[in-house]
Amino acid sequence: MRRRRSAEQVPRITTAPEALADDLARRQRRYLVQMGIRVVCFLAAVFTWGHVPLAVSVIMIVAAVVLPYVAVLLANAGREHRDVDTSLLDPRQIDPGPRGPENPGGGR
């Protein structure tokens, strides 16, 4: 007779990691889009210099300077292993702790 696995031993698809190739492609695509936005900001600042208020051009230059830092941070943020369970919590599994006159609501 075969044993049935308990619910804790069955892997869940939501906890399976994304394939490495898919993760790398997603991060590269996001990085390239952000660098494309940086180039557009820089070119917009150069071509609009003197034609629009100075503040607009300066904001475009600041965005072109800050975007590489943000793009690298977001491109490197991936494949983190989460040790926490992301499944729903069953309220019946919560131990409220002992109840008594000093602790009427339970808890710890």
> pLDDT tens across 76-86, in order?
876 665 555 55
C-beta separation of 57 from 49 below 8 A: yes
44-62 confidence digits (pLDDT tens): 999 998 899 999 999 999 9
pLDDT of residue 39: 94
Q: Is the pLDDT of residue 8 over 80?
A: no
Q: Is the pLDDT of residue 66 over 90?
A: yes
Helix 20-48 to helix 54-76 angle, to the nearest 10 degrees? Answer: 170
Q: What sections of 4-95 are H helices per DSSP? A: 20-48, 54-76
pLDDT of residue 85: 56
9-39 confidence digits (pLDDT tens): 666 666 667 788 888 888 889 999 999 999 9
Residue ranges per structural domain of the chain: 41-77
Mean pLDDT of all residues belonging to the chain: 77
Q: Is the pLDDT of residue 93 over 70?
A: no
pTM for this predicted structure: 0.56
